[in-house]
Amino acid sequence: MWLANTKADLRARLSSEKAPVILVPTMGALHPGHASLIDLARIKAGANGTVLVSIFVNPIQFDRAEDLESYPRTLEPDLAICNEHGADGVFVPKGGEMYFPDRSVTIIENNLANHLCGTTRPGHFDGVCTVVLKLFNLTRCDAAVFGEKDFQQLAIIRRMLRDLDLETEIISHPTIREPDGLAMSSRNRRLTLEHRADTPRILRALESASTGNTPQQILSDARDILEESPFGKIDYLSLVDAETLAPAETLSSPTVLACAVFYGNIRLIDHVDISPRA
């Protein structure tokens, strides 16, 4: 498995690799959820294709400076996971390699990003779209694998590809969870023991409320369970149309019940899909 730290080195390495090139974009601090994405990429690439993992803590998608500063950076264990799960190469850009000091172009999505995380993290998805497009351009990947835990991110990336006529295939992988139901996240390792013990209530709230008969009942039931926490603070709780991500007024089409909850300064997100009511 090779390692590239510069764009020039990445291009040189990829020039001798075989198609298809399947990219797994990450910010590092890898866990079994990321490993499952690499495994899926390996399957999609086949024995002769190329699996490339990128590890880059993207500064322009953080809305809070303290979140960027405290984001876990665990390169050596990350590289071991990449190697164990069949990555052919890893791109770890250093310092200012990804952005010019006077950069003046940003990719902005103006519809789907106006809901959910986009309402409480201004500029977040601009940073996501910009770095993902740069990675696609740098790697010329045939496909990229993303986790469904970040379902709004996935929807926005798909919209970006559609609207900009990009041909990269987007492959999604279901959310990987801890045995108690907490969605796996690089941020989980920063939770205190007390906070970690309380976090299964997030999925419990979403799943319990999803059986409600009206949007109002679903949101009320979920909020009641989340607000019983002595530690968690709701950032948002929303029931949205699964396609437009706009607030759902009925249950006649597929919807998503989604939330973000702060435990201290650790922000956790999760969601459940809700099928249309007959």
Say if 42 falls within a structural domain: yes
Is 179 domain-assigned?
no
In a domain, 278, yes or no: no
Q: Give the model's confidence band at 164: pLDDT under 50 very low, under 70 low, under 90 confident, else very high.
A: very high
For residues 107 and 32, membership in a common domain is answered with yes
- Tokens representing 177 are 């969870």
Residue 34 annotated in active site: yes
User: Both 82 and 150 in a single domain?
Assistant: yes
Residue 273 lies in a domain: no
Residue of 31, 34, 124, 173 with catalytic role:
34
Domain end call among 139, 173, 207 = 173
Residue of higher predicted confidence among 277 and 208: 208
What are the residues facing 238 on neighbouring strands? 258
Following DSSP, what letter does each residue of the chain receive, concatenated?
-EEE-SHHHHHHHHTTSPSPEEEEEE-S---HHHHHHHHHHHHHHTTTSEEEEEE---GGG-S-HHHHHHS---HHHHHHHHHHTT-SEEE---TTSSS-TT--------SGGGSTHHHHSTTHHHHHHHHHHHHHHHH--SEEEEEGGGHHHHHHHHHHHHHTT--PEEEEEPPPB-TTSPBP-GGGGGS-HHHHHHTTHHHHHHHHHTT-SSHHHHHHHHHHHHHT-SSEEEEEEEEEETTT-SBPS-SSS-EEEEEEEEETTEEEEEEEEEPPP-
pLDDT tens track for 201-213: 999 999 999 999 9
> Is residue 133 domain-shared with residue 20, that is, in the same domain?
yes
Do 142 and 31 share a structural domain? yes
Decide if 151 contacts 199 (C-beta within 8 A).
no
Whole domain around residue 190: which residue ranges?
186-268
Contact of 74 with 189, CB cutoff 8 Å: no
Please, what is the Cα angle at 234 between 230 and 236, to 5 degrees? 170
Q: Is residue 181 part of a domain?
A: no
Residues 16 and 63 in one domain: yes
The stretch 241-256 carries a mean pLDDT of 97
Sheet holding 232-241, edge to edge: 232-241, 255-263, 266-274
First vs last C-alpha separation in the chain:
52
Whether pLDDT at 277 is above 90: no
Pairing label, strands 232-241, 89-91:
unpaired
Q: Where does a domain end: 173, 199, 221?
A: 173
| Same domain, yes or no: 128 and 38 | yes
Answer whether residue 98 is part of any domain.
yes
Cis peptide before 32 (omega within 30 of 0): no
Tokens of 34: 């990321």
Asked whether residue 31 is assigned to any structural domain, the reply reads yes
21 with 92, same domain: the answer is yes
Q: How confident is the model at residue 46 (pLDDT cuts 50, 70, 90)?
A: very high
Question: Residue 169's pLDDT band (boundaries 50, 70, 90)?
Answer: very high
**Structural domain count of the chain:** 2
The one-letter amino acid code at 237 reads: L
Q: Based on the domain organization, do 99 and 200 belong to the same domain?
A: no
Question: Is 191 found in the same domain as 158?
Answer: no
Same domain, yes or no: 105 and 242: no
Q: How confident is the model at residue 278 (pLDDT cuts 50, 70, 90)?
A: confident
Clarify whether residues 67 and 113 are in a common domain: yes
Per the domain annotation, does 144 fall within a domain?
A: yes
- What pLDDT is recorded for position 95? 75
**Distance between CA atoms of residues 148 and 85, nearest Å:** 20
List the CATH number of the domain containing 21: 3.40.50.620
